[in-house]
Amino acid sequence: MIHLPDFAHSLIVSCQAPADSPLRDPSFLARMALAAEQGGARGIRADGVETVSLIRQTVTLPIIGILKTVQPPGGGVFITPTFKEAALLAESGADMIALDGTARPRPDGRSLRDQIARIHDELGLPVMADTDGVESAMYAEDARADVIGTTLAGYTGGTVPDEPSIDLVHALASRVDVPVIAEGRIWTRDDASAAILAGAWAVVVGTAITNPVYTAARFAHAIAEASTHQSRRSSHGGSRRRL
């Protein structure tokens, strides 16, 4: 059973892998969760029934479970979209259910409030609502979500920013009465610290820790840009070190 105060000012590591990742294997993600636990994480966020089940057998940490389905054309709810997915996660060992907390239509036609009520009443588990802004966060709080995440900020329309939504964390911390979890594009220790200082109750870090493909690509891109800049300087008379 999850004890919400245990998450206060803590790191939660999201152990997921994209569909095309060579690391998309439940047994590997379970070992990644174990590494996160050894590194000081106080919670794990994981996607999928088999992955949650294996992580439950591997670590002692609370697990925030999600189950992503195929996203509808044009966008829409796909993170634990119905009670059915929540029940599967609970059976697999999740201690908290995370779901899309926006007001967008759900595939079964039910309301967010109804889905959360069923999770509370029938599964006995708390709910994390993944939101994209102040309006959806307040909507999710009214629907009785136990915690609010900034998970979907920047992902429900327009260009996805590169930086974390620290301003949103600050806004939510002053507008809602439930804990706020900062999640999304937390790249550095400074980002995590800024989120806590902005009022986050806990911080979820995923890609920066558990996606070496994307992390390597960021380094490679930065080095390539620097190399291009250096070459331009050299072509305009700048000094060039011989190798």
Q: Which residue has the higher pLDDT, 161 or 102?
A: 102
- 243 — pLDDT class (breaks 50, 70, 90): low
Task: Please state, in angstroms and rounded to a whole number, the distance separating the CA atoms of residues 241 and 100.
Answer: 53
- 217 inside domain: no
Model pLDDT, residue 123 = 99
- 102 inside domain: yes
The domain spanning residue 86 has which CATH number? 3.20.20.70
The one-letter amino acid at 142 = D
- 46 inside domain: yes
* Statement: residue 1 has pLDDT above 80: no
- 228 inside domain: no
Find the domain containing 54 and state its range.
7-211
Model pLDDT, residue 238 = 56
Q: Which two tokens stand for residue 198?
A: 């902005």
For 174-222, write each residue's pLDDT tens digit. 999 999 999 999 999 999 999 999 999 999 999 999 999 999 999 999 9
Q: Three-state DSSP class for 199?
A: coil
Number of domains within the chain: 1
Model pLDDT, residue 241 = 53
Mean pLDDT for all residues in the chain: 94
Q: Which residue has the higher pLDDT, 232 or 180?
A: 180
- 216 inside domain: no
Q: Which one, of 118, 107, 149, lies nearest residue 132 by Cα?
A: 149
- 100 inside domain: yes
* Statement: residue 236 has pLDDT above 80: no
**Dihedral sign from CA coordinates of 18, 90, 117, 14:** negative
For 11-35, write each residue's pLDDT tens digit. 999 999 999 999 999 999 999 999 9
Model pLDDT, residue 240 = 52
